Amino acid sequence: MAKRFEIRLAGSGGQGLVLGGVILAEAAAIYDGKFATQTQSYGPESRGGASKSEVVISDEEVDYPKATNPDVLLLFTEAAFQKYLPSTKNEAIVIVDEDLVQSKIPPNYKNVVVAPLTRIAKEGVGREFVANIVALGLIRELTNIVSEKSLETALLGRIPKGTEEMNKKALALGKEAAHKYGNQLLSKKA
Amino acid sequence: MAKRFEIRLAGSGGQGLVLGGVILAEAAAIYDGKFATQTQSYGPESRGGASKSEVVISDEEVDYPKATNPDVLLLFTEAAFQKYLPSTKNEAIVIVDEDLVQSKIPPNYKNVVVAPLTRIAKEGVGREFVANIVALGLIRELTNIVSEKSLETALLGRIPKGTEEMNKKALALGKEAAHKYGNQLLSKKA
């Protein structure tokens, strides 16, 4: 892996992006033995419900914990798209919830996955709010930044009792979505 | 308030320090209109269950989100005491759970609050795991870094339905503990 790998999860409050970031960081550090940080930054825009959760994973101690040049950008609202895409490098993997973001990704972005993650969560397990977990499964499958086992273990350590099966299903749906909607990236990786 | 105010919550996984940090940061930014960041840093020590959650609150955008020189240090394990106290300035407010930390705070620290926060949680609401919320109530009362109303609102936005009364009680117990165990600091402030 790269020395430093940055993931930015951007959307609105209530979409579980903070929890998603915590699970990813714990998977990397506690279970995969890497270094990781997970950061939320809040400013005046947070009042409008904007939410941003960032994870930095590294083989070395993470000096600067904010994502300055994300390798993965997850966009869960149109506002997040408008705010964060322009500063994101063209090589980044950009993941867009197709029902929540109206704008099209410009063609200079080559690693784009457009998938109905929230709809997948709703139709697959009956709960929109596990769209964050579907996204984690998809990000993992696309990047291999944490192991499958670590992600599942970290997930199970952070969710309410009684929701284990639903959450494991959501992870699996994310993996499936990576193959269905991001297959061009997986072939590239292979 | 100071331009930049740093809070470090240190203990072990399962003590709810991540959630505590998130609630504090959201109280400051979403409800009090300040800037805030909340960061977890994980390294190899996380495997032993160590957990550290940091909040930076500022009137301006937070450039560096890690706590480099905490104004408040909460210590919820002996290991956290050993690891974080030595690098903490003597003027910091140091809050120690007296049942979880055996060592005594050296006399060069002048703003020390030793209180049985976990026991207060258990005896007051029947649940040890709301000790993090008791700690938030205490920190708020000692520092006034967020408003009472904002902290309660942020808290209610982050906890499971049905636990509102228990959590509000935990906050109130923390406030009470500030007067019982930290009265020397409150008199200084007044």
Q: Look at chain A and count its residues.
A: 190
The verdict on a CB contact (< 8 Å) between A22 and B25 is no
Q: Which of B46, B57, B158 to mutate to test the interface with A (most CBs of A within 10 A)?
A: B46
In terms of CA atoms, which chain B residue is nearest residue A58?
B43
pLDDT score for B117 = 98
Q: How many CB atoms lie within 10 A of CB A8?
A: 27
Interchain CB contact of B151 with A (< 8 Å):
no
- Mean pLDDT of all residues in chain A? 94
SS3 state of residue A95: strand
> In the prediction, which pLDDT does B144 show?
96
As to burial, measured by CB atoms within 10 angstroms (0-12 exposed, 13-18 middle, 19+ buried), residue A125 is buried
Q: Is A38–B37 a contact, with Cβ atoms under 8 angstroms apart?
A: no
Per DSSP, the residues of B122-164 read HHHHS-GGGHHHHHHHHHHHHH--S-HHHHHHHHHTTS-TT-H
pTM of the model: 0.92
Q: Is B68 on the interface with A (CB under 8 A)?
A: no
Q: Which tokens belong to A88? A: 């994101």
CB-based contact, A64 to chain B, within 8 Å: yes
| CA-CA-CA-CA torsion sign (A54, B28, B43, B117) | negative
Query: For B50, which residue in chain A has the nearest alpha carbon?
Result: A30
For position A121, what pLDDT does the model report?
98
pLDDT in tens, B11-31: 998 899 999 999 999 999 999
pLDDT of amino acid B137 = 98
Q: pLDDT (tens digit, 9 = 90+) per residue, B118-166? A: 999 999 999 999 999 999 999 999 999 999 999 999 999 999 889 999 9
| pLDDT for res B190 | 53
- Nearest by CB to A38, which of B26, B39, B61? B39
Q: Which amino acid is at A63?
A: D
Superfamily of domain A4-117+143-162: Pyruvate-ferredoxin oxidoreductase, PFOR, domain III (3.40.920.10)
Whether A42 sits inside 8 A of B22 (CB atoms) is no
Which of A15, A17, A23, A46 would you mutate first to test chain B, the one with the most B CBs within 10 A? Answer: A46
* Sequence ranges of the domains in chain A: 4-117+143-162
Residue labelled with tokens 């192991």: A147
Tokens of B60: 């301006």
Reading chain A (190 residues) residue by residue, the pLDDT tens digits are 458 999 999 999 889 999 999 999 999 999 999 999 999 998 877 888 889 999 999 999 998 899 999 999 999 999 999 999 999 999 999 999 999 999 999 999 999 999 999 999 999 999 999 999 999 999 999 999 999 999 999 999 999 889 999 999 999 999 999 999 999 999 776 5
3-state SS assignment for residue A172: helix
For B113-145, give one letter per residue: b (16+ CB within 10 A) or e: bbbbbbbbbbebbeebebbbbbbbbbbbbbbeb
Say which CATH superfamily domain B4-189 falls into: Pyruvate-ferredoxin oxidoreductase, PFOR, domain III (3.40.920.10)
B92 vs A47, B77, B110, B139, B187, CA distance in Å? 30, 18, 8, 12, 16
Q: Do B33 and A40 touch (CB under 8 A)?
A: no
State pLDDT tens for residues B66-123: 999 999 999 999 999 999 999 999 999 999 999 999 999 999 999 999 999 999 999 9
Write down how long chain B is: 190
Vertex B116 angle, CA B113 and B120, to 5°: 125
Confidence of residue B167 (pLDDT cuts 50, 70, 90): very high
B13 touches chain A (CB under 8 A): yes
Dist. CA B127–CA B132, nearest whole Å: 11
Nearest to B41 among A18, A22, A37 (CB): A37
The partner residue sitting opposite B38, judged by closest CB among A40, A43, A62, is: A40
Q: Distance (Å) from the C-alpha of residue A2 to the closest C-alpha of chain B? A: 17
